[in-house]
Chains A and B, each alone.
Chain A
């Protein structure tokens, strides 16, 4: 079975600064997918960024980027130029290859962006 661990229950960052959220996972699979989801106060989970394990290049989506370290089973999320709208819960998730959308989620990190 897979497990996903987010070791930072809460974090804060000043507006316009950069913050990194940590995620580690445990799996015996060689090919898989990793995701970061954001859950703002509206409660809707929104996909932020995704990474294929067989790709060495780190994924980027505008101000969001990941640092994927396969050997270390680490998948951190970096948010640059933080905005007030980035305030939310952030969840890291793992999915085996061809597992449909059966994701294993971490416990989440609450991020507060301060003005």
Chain B
């Protein structure tokens, strides 16, 4: 199933570069999420968008800038990153934008493997 598509699959960038990660969902969902998966840490929620409005910013440094132009697309703009930002960045979507999501589980993409040199 390719309900949530992330591009690029791999990205290598220098610390002075500016790049963007893209996520697109084809499931008609109303909420979208960015998660960071580092090698030796649990998955960390970064941002949540509900009906195109940001509802959660989990103390993420300003060098990460999300954008949600519509309910199907989510971007993560990157600039002046650090080597410790190297990780797998996972996008997810869900039907229910708020409240109990027990019956509206997350659907994840395949992630973008980011390496900062």
Contacts and interface: CB of A to CB of B under 8 A. Distances in A.
Interface residues of A, number: 25
A106 B100 contact: no
B105 A50 contact: yes
A9 B100 CA distance: 30
Contacts of B48: 100-102
A101 B33 contact: yes
A42 interface: yes
Given A42-B110, A95-B101, A100 B43 contact: no
Contacts of B108: 44-46
Given A95-B101, A100-B55, A45 B106 contact: yes
Interface string A39-81: 0001111110010100000000000000000000000000000
A91 B35 CA distance: 14
Size category of the B interface is 20 to 34
Interface in B56-115: 56, 88, 90, 92, 94, 96-102, 104-106, 108-111, 113
Interface of B: 31, 33, 40-43, 45, 48, 50, 55-56, 88, 90, 92, 94, 96-102, 104-106, 108-111, 113
23 contacts: A4-B42, A33-B102, A43-B111, A44-B111, A45-B106, A47-B106, A91-B42, A91-B43, A95-B101, A98-B99, A98-B100, A99-B101, A100-B48, A100-B50, A100-B55, A100-B101, A101-B96, A101-B104, A102-B48, A102-B56, A103-B45, A107-B41, A108-B42
Interface of A: 4, 33, 35, 42-47, 50, 52, 91, 95, 97-108
